[in-house]
Amino acid sequence: MKKLATLVLMIPLLLSWTDSINAEESDQVKEQVIYSIFVDRFNNIDRSRDKQVDIDDPNAYHGGDIQGIIDKLDYIKELGFTTISLSPIMENSPNGYHGYWIEDYFKVEEEFGTLDDVKTLVEEAHDRGIKVILEFVPNYVSENHQFADDSSKTKPNTTADILWLDGTVTLNQENAEVKQMLLDAADFWLKETGIDGYQLHAIEQTSIPFLKQFIDHVKEVKPDIYLTGSVLNPDKLSDEYLDAGIPLIEYGPMQEAMVNVLTNVGTPPSDIYKKWEESGKRTGLLYIDNKFTDRFTREIVENGQNPLTTWKLALAYLYTAPGVPFIYQGSEIPMDGDTQEEIQRLVQFNNSDPDLHDFFNKIAAIRKQFPVLSHGKFELVDSNGAMSIFKRYDEDTTIFIAMNNDVGTKSVFVEDVPEGMQLTGLLGDNIVRKNEDGKYKIGLDRESVEIFITEKDKGLNWMYITAVVGVFLIFVLFIVALSVKHRKRSQ
Ligand SMILES: [Ca+2]
Ligand SMILES: [Ca+2]
């Protein structure tokens, strides 16, 4: 009887234990920093496959391939990325450089490589600690797909505002054969290539019952799968989609808010925070541009700002606010452009800015070192003019993120720092100590950023000062002795 009672008492404990394990698994994806690769427009190494390439035609293949990605894995790792997300690589109809004209879900597009190339890519990525996500297109197929002429398997196209959609036929996801084919395709890539997950394309166009079935299915096949979702029409993204079980969904309103604030010097970063509060405090995929938007660099240049300076501010927010940074290829160069041709240009690896590379690396390292930046609570501390300070915190750690988007030097006071602590900057050499009023005054130059951890206030280091003064005194005595000796000799 006593044993039974003990067991019954243990049930809630066991339940909470399994809960925390599940939470840890699903939370892993939230620690990533994702590099988004547009395969045809990344890096052309395997020229033997360039059968449909026409670099002068923005609507033709430009030659990027799987080998081109393998060759750049060290580069991607050096930039601090932990996951790569590839545009669709399934076999496409002619000119399907974007990957959205799928003819066969079980083959690799011949312009990109073979299934063996993809396996090699995944192995090489995993050897470097990099996860691989494939974009999966569940809503439509090429006009040449075997389902395209079967009216029971298709539906009329509903959205016509996208460039490549006129080459596609919308799938009827309620049809049993269509469902089965999509689920089999999802299994195929997981099992054959060892990829870590999927970026589901345009989730707001998917039927909800199918979406839920798909998510349940792939989670059963791979319980620790990384699932992300892209959104083409944010207006159609209802709560049903947000709650369907995809942990990270592209966060359009945040992109708009970030661009608006950061390309208008004098606007406080707290405006981005307000937008986050208004739109329900989601933790989504945070991106500042992608293959469908103008390059952020273009917006910066158009506003007469310095790309390196403004990119640093953007990265500071992307890497420390709730969500996962989703960085479009070429941002690290940084690439520029506002036409399809420019936005989707092959990455210009030779034009890169070493300072921006270093910053990518540094801020990714900070995010990795402090998990509170992935999981902690997020709050606005205060603003002064266009300088704002945010904090991320949990029971053990507090980190302050200071961003000055003002036209001049600004400072903001911070009060809630535990007794005996100082604020130590991780990006520069900034140290802030408590003043006589018990406050911490954080000052920053215009358009700059700093990330502060709280550390024990070391005060002035007397040991060091004594040593330096001591060495100096010995040196002076030595010189005096020498000159006395010299004078005696010359007498
Ligand atoms: Ca090629
Ligand atoms: Ca093809």
Q: What is the DSSP track for 331-393?
A: TTTT---SSHHHHTPPP-GGG--HHHHHHHHHHHHHHHH-THHHHSEEEEEEEETTEEEEEEE
Tell me the two tokens of residue 283: 């933790």
What pLDDT does residue 162 have?
Answer: 67
* pLDDT value for 1: 45
Rg of the Cα trace of the chain?
27
Distance 243 CA to ligand 1 centre (A): 40
Whole-number Å distance, alpha carbon 101 to ligand 2 midpoint, is 9
The closest ligand to the CA of 46 turns out to be: 1
Asked if residues 402 and 442 have their Cβ atoms less than 8 Å apart, the reply is: yes
DSSP secondary structure string for all residues of 101-161: SEEEEEEE-TTT--HHHHHHHHHHHHHTT-EEEEEE--SEEETTSTTTT-TTTEE------
Give yes or no for a contact between 102 and 91, defined as CB atoms under 8 angstroms apart.
yes
Q: Which amino acid is at 120?
A: T
Compute, in angstroms, the gap from residue 211 CA to the centroid of ligand 2: 27
CA of 93 to the centre of ligand 2 (A): 5
For residue 38, the CA-to-ligand 1 centroid distance in Å is 13
Residue pair 162/232 in contact by the 8 Å Cβ criterion: yes
Distance CA 207, CA 182 (A): 13
From the CA of 40, the nearest ligand is: 1
- The ligand minimizing its distance to the Cα of 48 is 1
* CA of 47 relative to ligand 1 center, distance in Å: 4
Task: Find the angle CA(20)-CA(240)-CA(184) to the nearest 5 degrees.
Answer: 80
Which ligand approaches the C-alpha of residue 47 most closely? 1
Asked whether the CA dihedral 196, 201, 204, 207 is positive or negative, the reply is negative
The structure tokens listed for 71 are 């060759």
Note the pLDDT of residue 414.
96
Compute the distance from residue 397 Cα to the ligand 2 centre, in Å.
Answer: 51
Task: Summarize pLDDT for 184-223 with one digit per residue, the tens.
Answer: 999 999 999 999 999 999 999 999 999 999 999 999 999 9
Any idea which ligand is nearest the CA of 67? 1
CA-based nearest residue to 29, from 101, 87, 97, 82: 82
Strand partners of residue 102:
92
What is the number of the ligand closest to the CA of 94?
2
Distance CA 479, CA 55 (A): 72
Q: Which stretches of the chain drop beneath a pLDDT of 50? A: 1-2, 7, 12-25
